């Protein structure tokens, strides 16, 4: 456990150094291997020989869906635009991009502390609060009764997106753009603004992709430092 804490502190330092010097876009996925990432798959604790949840196939990063877990950047990032191109490779299902990732396995001994930007088919752009929180306009309309809001229970963690008509037909590539600046997180899907949050309880962290039951292909994961949000 002590070793893991040291690794996490070292990771934070790497991320801060990156943000201090970065002036242009970088590709988080190099198209060849998973350099710069590490997987956290709880099922491998008991069975290290379990098949990989994340692989590189034909130049694409693929979340196999199972065993469930997360692929997490080694570095920490803040104040950036993340452009993700993805598609469901088989049946439509669930996946997500997690921003401001920190402590692993804080929810259900699986999900890291973070804010999830949902990629589930027909729900792309929802926010899911995972021990972090965020505010959007019309909160009760989009999150439910205030008394039921939560960051660590089954209900009250989902904040619905602004429209469910932004995704392309199955098999086609979607582009998700996530902008994180200070305490704000703004999301577009295929050029449509689908969520716009503020007062986020975190302003920096690692970035993660989910393995959550469905095979998903990624061909672009490009990060660009920003000083203001796009309109």
What structural domains does the chain harbor? Answer: 2-225 (2.60.120.560)
- Rounded CA-CA distance 156/183 in Å is 20
pLDDT tens-digit series, residues 128-164: 999 999 999 999 999 999 999 999 999 999 999 999 8
- Residue 208's nearest CA partner among 74, 68, 14 is 74
**For residues 158 and 151, what is the distance between their CA atoms, to the nearest angstrom?**
9
What CA–CA distance (Å, rounded) separates 139 from 22?
35
Contact status, residue 70 vs residue 39, Cβ threshold 8 Å: yes
pTM (2 decimals)?
0.90
What are the pLDDT digits (tens) for 59-96?
999 999 999 999 999 999 999 999 999 999 889 999 99
pLDDT of residue 213: 95
């Amino acid at each position: 456990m002590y070793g893991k804490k040291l690794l996490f502190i070292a990771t934070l330092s790497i991320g801060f150094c990156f943000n201090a010097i970065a002036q242009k876009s970088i590709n988080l996925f190099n198209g060849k291997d998973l350099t710069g990432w590490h997987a956290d798959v709880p099922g491998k604790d008991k069975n290290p020989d379990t098949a990989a949840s994340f692989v590189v196939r034909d130049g694409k990063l693929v979340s196999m869906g199972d065993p469930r877990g997360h692929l997490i950047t080694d570095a920490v990032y803040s104040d950036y635009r993340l452009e993700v191109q993805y598609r469901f490779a088989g049946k439509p299902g669930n996946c997500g991009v997690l921003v401001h990732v920190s402590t692993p396995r804080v929810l259900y001994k699986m999900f890291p502390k973070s804010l999830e930007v949902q990629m589930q088919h027909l729900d792309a752009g929802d926010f899911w609060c995972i021990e972090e929180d965020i505010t959007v306009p019309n909160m009760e309309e989009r999150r439910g009764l205030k008394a039921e809001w939560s960051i660590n229970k089954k209900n009250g963690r989902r904040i619905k997106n602004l429209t469910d008509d932004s995704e392309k037909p199955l098999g086609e590539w979607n582009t998700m753009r996530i902008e994180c600046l200070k305490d704000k997180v703004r999301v577009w899907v295929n050029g449509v603004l689908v969520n716009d949050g503020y007062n986020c309880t975190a302003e920096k962290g690692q970035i993660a992709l989910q393995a959550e039951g469905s095979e998903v292909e990624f061909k672009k994961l490009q990060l660009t430092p920003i000083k203001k949000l796009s309109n």
